[in-house]
């Protein structure tokens, strides 16, 4: 039986799709402030939501014991609780489903000897990444159950970034099977794409910081942040030491996210211009074109997200834009790799 066949590719691409759906639902969960509605973690029984009024009331009473209800949502009715409970429950169910979709086919392909040694090793890495992602989700929620009514933005960033990287690696493994033969390419240009990918990942991390600190709800002007100045000292510098303003301060984090947006945009434009001077295959050209279009769209989505004070639909669209941009960057780097 042929190894690394089309079924294996479809399996990996299905995983990519499910991770994408999970990231979208995770964005909605965050923007609707639903992430702390389920304060316990039950791997099996937690798959089934409360089925009657008694169970709903028990879940609501448990929610009342934690800071988010006590400090922010003490006015909530049972129906309000049900609304936020749904998104967190759905988010967790998708996570469990991804685990099942990965493990069962993996064991099947393993038994049927349809995987090469290389793909088996890569699949094990994917399994570790998936397990780590689940742990980070629990670790993130835990930070909002002690004395603060919100999760740590550092843990949120770790959780989100790991999801993006897990997707990118899954996509890369699928591309390895779809395109087993790679074209020899100029090393300097490949390294330039790697730099662009690194900048994009840093920008994704800062996007998570902005989300975790609710920093998008302030300085809702563009291109200036406030009072006609892009960097206003009385707003930006709030903490000491100064560096903390750029990793923990709302103004500083938004400022870095804005600056990085210009840097990512410039880096991709440079990649596009330099790439067009090379002799390109059809897929390489498509990758460069996709990068240019998506970075422009993502930049505009970021601007309107700030101007409109982060409506849920636009915040989710901006996160989806980052996901597609990472996909295009991964594809382009793969097509220019040797």
Domain segments of the chain: what residues?
A: 1-180, 182-338
Going by pLDDT thresholds of 50, 70 and 90, the confidence category of residue 240 is low
User: Residue 107 pLDDT > 70, yes or no?
Assistant: yes
Given a cut of 60, is residue 232 above it in pLDDT?
A: no
DSSP code at position 45:
G
* Residue 228, pLDDT above cutoff 50: no
pLDDT tens for 169-225 read 999 999 999 988 766 667 889 999 999 999 999 999 999 999 999 999 988 988 888
Q: Is the pLDDT of residue 2 over 70?
A: no
Distances in whole angstroms, Cα of residue 277 to Cα of each of 11, 84, 196, 250, 299? 36, 51, 18, 41, 25
**pLDDT confidence tier of residue 279, bands split at 50, 70 and 90:** confident
Coil, strand, or helix at residue 67? helix
Please give the Cα distance from 176 to 122 (Å, whole number). 11
Candidate ranges 40-54, 55-69, 292-306; pick with highest mean pLDDT: 292-306
User: Rounded to whole angstroms, how far apart are CA atoms 290 and 329?
Assistant: 9
Phi and psi at residue 226, to the nearest 5°: -165, 150
**pLDDT (0 to 100) of residue 230:** 43
CA distances from 136 to 110, 167, 201, 210, 251 (A): 28, 16, 18, 18, 26
Q: Spell out the long-range contacts of 309-312 with Cβ–Cβ below 8 A and sequence spacing 24 or more.
A: 309/216, 309/217, 309/220, 310/31, 310/216, 310/217, 312/28, 312/31, 312/32
């Amino acid at each position: 039986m042929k190894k690394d066949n089309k079924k294996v590719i479809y399996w990996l691409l299905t995983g990519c799709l499910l991770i994408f759906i999970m990231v979208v639902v995770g964005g909605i969960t965050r923007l609707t402030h639903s992430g702390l509605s389920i304060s316990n973690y039950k791997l099996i029984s937690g798959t089934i939501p409360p089925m009657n009024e008694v169970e709903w009331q028990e879940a609501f009473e448990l929610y009342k014991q934690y800071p988010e209800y006590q400090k922010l949502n003490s006015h909530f009715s049972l129906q309000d609780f049900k609304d936020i409970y749904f998104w967190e429950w759905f988010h967790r169910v998708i996570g469990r489903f991804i685990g099942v979709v990965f493990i069962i086919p993996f064991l099947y392909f393993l038994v049927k000897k349809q995987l090469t040694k290389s793909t088996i090793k890569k699949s094990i890495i994917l399994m570790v990444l998936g397990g780590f992602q689940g742990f980070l989700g629990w670790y993130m929620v835990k930070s909002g159950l002690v004395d603060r009514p919100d999760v740590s933005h550092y843990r949120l960033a770790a959780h989100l970034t790991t999801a993006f990287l897990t997707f990118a690696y899954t996509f890369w493994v699928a591309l390895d099977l779809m395109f087993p033969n790679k074209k020899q390419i100029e090393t300097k240009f490949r390294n330039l794409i790697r730099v662009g990918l690194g900048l994009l990942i840093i920008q994704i991390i800062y996007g998570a910081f902005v989300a975790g600190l609710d920093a998008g709800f302030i300085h809702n002007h563009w291109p200036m942040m406030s009072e006609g100045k892009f960097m206003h000292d009385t707003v930006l510098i709030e903490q000491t030491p100064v560096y903390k303003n750029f990793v923990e301060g709302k103004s500083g984090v938004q400022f870095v996210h804005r600056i990085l947006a210009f840097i990512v945009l410039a880096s991709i434009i440079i990649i596009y211009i330099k790439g067009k001077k090379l002799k390109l295959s059809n897929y390489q050209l498509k990758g460069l074109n996709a990068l240019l279009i998506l970075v422009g769209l993502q930049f505009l989505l970021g601007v309107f997200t700030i101007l409109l004070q982060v409506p849920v639909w636009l915040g989710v669209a901006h996160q989806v834009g980052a996901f597609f941009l990472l996909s295009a960057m991964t594809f382009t780097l793969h097509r220019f790799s040797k």
